[in-house]
Structure 1
């Protein structure tokens, strides 16, 4: 691990212009451009014109359903698909029709406070649906083929959101994400209330952290911290190893005495677009019990492999290294290009997806809002994993949501990706209000 003064060699030795940050490593893979298949009944904007997406060979892609504000998804034991709509305070249930076509849609649960992540989890003979709202986590007993949610039990209450007095209505990352482990522990991500601030590290609960509870919501303990906004949470199949996809911070100042913009002057402490565009990477990482991943005091930096990322002390909050010793923080297993905004992800090992994708994770990248060019995110990617649980190089699965990068025009922003019961991948999009189906085809 790099101490605050141990920058990557190229940057540490730079006396003139800084070298360009290493690009995110991506494996090259064959791809084909497919016209998005749109049923006549779903052809409202932005699908009133032809949309093309780039997908792997052997796949097609269709617009499967329209759900305004669609965020996270969960596959029910009977094959139904739940879609959270935080802005409307509800969960929508989508059920395939026997003859195909647009699925049936039901308001499965309403009157909720910003519902977001959902997990089905079996304990003994009972299957529960856990739902993360912005201020609590609830569960209900799942009854097969139900189209409305049953009696709700609050298991974790009083989570911070924009109603928390100390936050005074300001909490940009109040949506909650959850996971349940094979040994029935509940994990709750409590995201930051800021871009980068020390206050979140001193709050109760700590923000920018993950907490562990019993399945009933008891025995709270801090599991890991320094994770600014862990959106996707999932356990590596067959293990108790938690992985997360993290939205990292924005507007990071240059932490080194180097010339980034080529004007022959040091950019130490400055906000320079060339640095901000590539720093800090978004962690996609296994999480260690008791781990500290650095935020907001230590920022990861990209390397050629985008793996086991070194860190540098944050110029604003940890310039002298006294707030946190960056030599001791945990390294991210993998990095995704800065500002890609990873949200939902799913391990695909136990799903009937094509064999080439059964040993890895699919990750939805929502896309950058403040990079100088729309070059980060706006796609779905895949990380192959080996049998030891190590992630390989990132591979594009679905791209093409940016219609005009120069004009900063996009027509879609992926949020979550899950496998359905038939081996297709479903992708939610809160910008277009859509659920896409990436399906195998001859």
Structure 2
């Protein structure tokens, strides 16, 4: 099957498109014990296996979902405006960790591990099989940290992450951020030293790119910190594998090097919280004080003696820096028991937020309904 997937014409038979609207399952509900600030509510928006990356279509109504382990790309839509998705189209199956999704005009871009695909006229294709155009098939094939993140920047370029193929190692051409034009050409590396950055966003009104980065493992429960990094000038190096968190030399690769030679993180997070999605809130549905805040989905630890993360955090942005990093949504982890893993965030046109949970196979909608939510 893997050989078939590398031939776009044959891939058609593996792309499942529904000719009719199918109801999205509503059996699962919100786990008990989730905690938001006063005045906020959370509800189930959709149930979808391994729901992970979320991007909004050009129509402002369709949400595209990348499911990394399931290898699928799905379109969801709330057609009746009741706050739950009631229409679903499976656009692609049999892909290899399609974590990276981006929309430009009427085209959907999808990053496989080693390929960059483009589905043209995506909305017009709902209900019929389509084959993607393969823009690139020369990306690194390593599965370790091989799931990509994609986004178009304010410069019109397509940005794509390349994770390190290891826990910690020297690997030229990896642990970096690249950008290219919309055809996948004229590629250049704009940042290095990013072990595994699978979430980034531009601060509104600027060309500052804020990235989440997952630190290395096996230096203990409490180090190194995960990071939020800010790329202002292309060419920055954020330290991996030589320095972690801007101040911790790697015991193997940091010998003879100084952390002062690398760009320090804008914010050091707790160790192993695994930050993924990052979003600047720009809507007006939340109270005014939330506008401009940055939100981060912490996926949660897998190798810590006591679990950390499993929450959505937020911070004010003061003079271009994150300040007062604090919880927005808690309760997915209680006393070592986990009911979900926050992955990615998406702001809907009405100002509510969607949050994907790839462990629970759910997408939640968070909205403000009144009260003291400052």
Provide TM-score, normalisation by structure 1.
0.73
Residue 381 of structure 1: aligned partner? 313
Partner Cα separation in structure 2 for residue 351 and residue 180 of structure 1: 24
Q: Deviations over 1:286-318 (max 9, x none)?
A: 124111111111112xxxxxxxxx413211222
Q: Max radius of gyration: which structure? A: 1
1:139 equivalenced with 2:114 (yes/no): no
Identify which of 255, 267, 272 aligns with 1:334.
267
Partner Cα separation in structure 2 for residue 379 and residue 420 of structure 1: 20
1:400 equivalenced with 2:331 (yes/no): yes
Residue 111 of structure 1: aligned partner? 94
Residue 108 of structure 2: aligned partner? 129
Identify which of 70, 76, 80 aligns with 1:94.
76
Whether contact under 8 Å (2:25, 2:47) holds in the other structure is no
Residue 13 of structure 1: aligned partner? none
Whether contact under 8 Å (2:195, 2:215) holds in the other structure is yes
Residue 150 of structure 2: aligned partner? 178
Partner Cα separation in structure 2 for residue 332 and residue 367 of structure 1: 20
Partner Cα separation in structure 2 for residue 42 and residue 158 of structure 1: 40
Q: 1:138 to 1:350 in 2, by over 3 A?
A: farther
Residue 278 of structure 2: aligned partner? 345
Whether contact under 8 Å (1:352, 1:421) holds in the other structure is no
Identify which of 181, 186, 197 aligns with 1:219.
186
Residue 45 of structure 2: aligned partner? 64
Partner Cα separation in structure 2 for residue 313 and residue 241 of structure 1: 26
Q: 1:62 to 1:346 in 2, by over 3 A?
A: same
Identify which of 213, 216, 227 aligns with 1:246.
213
Q: Secondary structure at the match of 2:345?
A: strand
* Residue correspondence of structure 1 range 4-403 to structure 2 within 5 A: 42-44=26-28, 47=29, 51-78=32-59, 79-98=61-80, 100=82, 101-121=84-104, 126-142=105-121, 144=123, 147=126, 152-162=132-142, 171-198=143-170, 200=171, 202=172, 206-252=173-219, 276-287=220-231, 288-300=233-245, 310-319=246-255, 321=256, 324-349=257-282, 353-374=286-307, 376-386=308-318, 388-403=319-334
Q: CA RMSD in A?
A: 2.2
Q: Secondary structure at the match of 1:158?
A: coil
Q: Deviations over 1:171-195 (max 9, x none)?
A: 3211011222112112111001111
Unaligned regions of 5+ residues in structure 2, if any? 1-23
User: Structure 1 stretches (4+) deviating beyond 6 angstroms?
Assistant: none
| Equivalent pairs, count | 343
Whether contact under 8 Å (1:246, 1:284) holds in the other structure is yes
Partner Cα separation in structure 2 for residue 91 and residue 143 of structure 1: 12
Q: Deviations over 1:111-161 (max 9, x none)?
A: 32221121223xxxx443222221122223345565368553333321112
Partner Cα separation in structure 1 for residue 237 and residue 154 of structure 2: 23
Q: Secondary structure at the match of 2:363?
A: strand
Partner Cα separation in structure 2 for residue 360 and residue 151 of structure 1: 39
Partner Cα separation in structure 1 for residue 126 and residue 34 of structure 2: 33
Q: 1:143 to 1:352 in 2, by over 3 A?
A: farther
Q: 1:355 to 1:295 in 2, by over 3 A?
A: same
Q: Secondary structure at the match of 1:423?
A: coil
The CA deviation at 1:230 is: 0.5
Partner Cα separation in structure 2 for residue 176 and residue 50 of structure 1: 29
Q: 1:358 to 1:280 in 2, by over 3 A?
A: same
Partner Cα separation in structure 1 for residue 237 and residue 269 of structure 2: 19
